[in-house]
Amino acid sequence: MRKRILMLDDNQDVLDIVKEALSYERFEVTITSETENIIENIQAHMPDLLMLDYKMSGTRGDEICREVKAHPQLSNIPVIICSAYLNKDDLLACGCDAIITKPFGLEELVDTVNGLIFSDQRLEAGD
pLDDT of residue 126: 37
User: Nearest-5° angle of CA 85, CA 24, CA 108?
Assistant: 35
Burial (CB count <10 Å: 0-12, 13-18, 19+), residue 22: buried
- Provide the residue-wise pLDDT of the chain in tens; the chain has 127 residues: 799 999 999 999 999 999 999 999 999 999 999 998 999 999 999 999 999 999 888 889 999 999 999 999 999 999 999 988 767 777 778 899 999 998 899 999 999 999 999 864 444 433 4
DSSP string, 1-16: -PPEEEEE-S-HHHHH
The domain locations on the chain are 4-118
For residues 116, 34, 69, 104, the Cα torsion angle rounded to the nearest 10 degrees is 30
Architecture of domain 4-118: 3-Layer(aba) Sandwich (3.40)
pLDDT of residue 118: 86
pLDDT of residue 58: 81
**Which residues are 4's β-sheet partners?**
28
pLDDT of residue 57: 81
Instruction: With CA atoms as reference, report the closest residue to 78 among 35, 99, 54, 48.
Output: 48
Q: How far is CA 66 from the centre of its chain?
A: 12
